[in-house]
Amino acid sequence: MQNNIFLTLFVGQSLVKLSSVNSTNTYLKNQLSNSTPPAEGTVIMADHQFAGRGQQGNSWDSEAGKNLTFSILFFPDFLKISQQFLLNIAVSLGINDCLARIIGKQCKIKWPNDIYYQEQKLGGILIENGLSGANLKWSIVGIGLNVNQQNFNGNNGRASSISKILHQNYELPELLGQLCKDIERRYLQLKAGNQELLKAEYQERLFGLNQKRYFKVANQQVEGEILGVDNDGCLLLSQNGKLAKYALKEIAFIFDEQ
């Protein structure tokens, strides 16, 4: 563990840097069963993950030493299980706050919590929760962000990085510090009960908002206008003038070939 100079109250105040690990989320989850569990805000980061995990059972591949792959521990026991999407909202907004300063407002949040620039994915978030009764007990927020990687194979041309956008490399420790500060700010807003503000800002920054887009639903291509997200974190579309709502496993965006 290392002391660091992050300008935060708790996120990243305890920072563990690993050169190689299966997955920072898995590593942090294993630490929770230690006799002295890690403090809230502990960050585990790795130069290389050899079994990085993404959403919906996908893998997360990231070139060693080029990108940020890290996990943050929170204890959001003030959230009911039914409110868990609010944490996705807070974290997505924190990342978006930070990246919008660096690459501009074309940085959007693609539902539910991918980070996009134009039509390309820059990063993703994998949140894993532990429960106690009707509330959350702990959350491991895993973040993968493409920073200095130039070549992406097997992503259908749909992945990009900060350096591809800026045409220059970005300092990883500097970016990690900024992200921790922005995520902490949004987490504290959530804890203070500013849910409506967070939901409104998430909606404003939603990729494709008020646009007609194509989706895959039950193996069929459908067209719908993105209206927003409901309290359960479902995507709301207008389809042929009717309101339709979809959970994550029910719908996928269809993109043009690149």
Question: Residues interacting with ligand BTN, by CB under 6 A?
Answer: 23-25, 49, 52-55, 58, 60, 69-71, 114, 124-126, 142-144
Write down the least CB distance from residue 72 to ligand BTN, Å: 10
- Closest CB 57 distance from ligand BTN, rounded Å: 9
Return the residue matching tokens 């895959």: 216
Q: Using CA atoms, how far apart are residues 18 and 44, in angstroms rounded to an integer? A: 7
User: Residue 209 CB, nearest distance to ligand BTN (Å)?
Assistant: 20
State the helix-helix crossing angle for 172-191 and 85-103, rounded to 10 degrees: 140
Q: What is the DSSP letter of 42?
A: -
Which of residues 24 and 42 has its CB atom nearest to ligand BTN in the complex? 24
Q: How far is the CB of 5 from ligand BTN (least distance, A)?
A: 22
Q: Which is nearer to ligand BTN, 45 or 86 (CB)?
A: 45
Q: Assign 225 to helix, strand or coil.
A: strand
C-alpha to C-alpha distance for 177 and 68, rounded to whole angstroms: 11
Task: Give the dihedral sign, CA 203/253/180/23.
Answer: positive
Nearer to ligand BTN (CB atom), residue 86 or residue 126: 126
CB of 53 to ligand BTN, least distance (A): 4
State in angstroms the smallest separation of the CB of 70 from ligand BTN.
Answer: 6
By C-beta, is 8 or 92 nearer to ligand BTN?
Answer: 92
Packing angle, helices 195-204 and 85-103, rounded to 10: 50
Determine the Cα–Cα distance for residues 126 and 179; give it in Å rounded to an integer: 16
Residue 41 or 144: which CB sits closer to ligand BTN? Answer: 144
Cα–Cα dist 59/36, whole Å: 30
| Residue 139 or 244 having the CB closest to ligand BTN | 139
Q: Which residue's beta carbon is nearest to the bound ligand BTN?
A: 124
Which tokens belong to 41? 């805000």
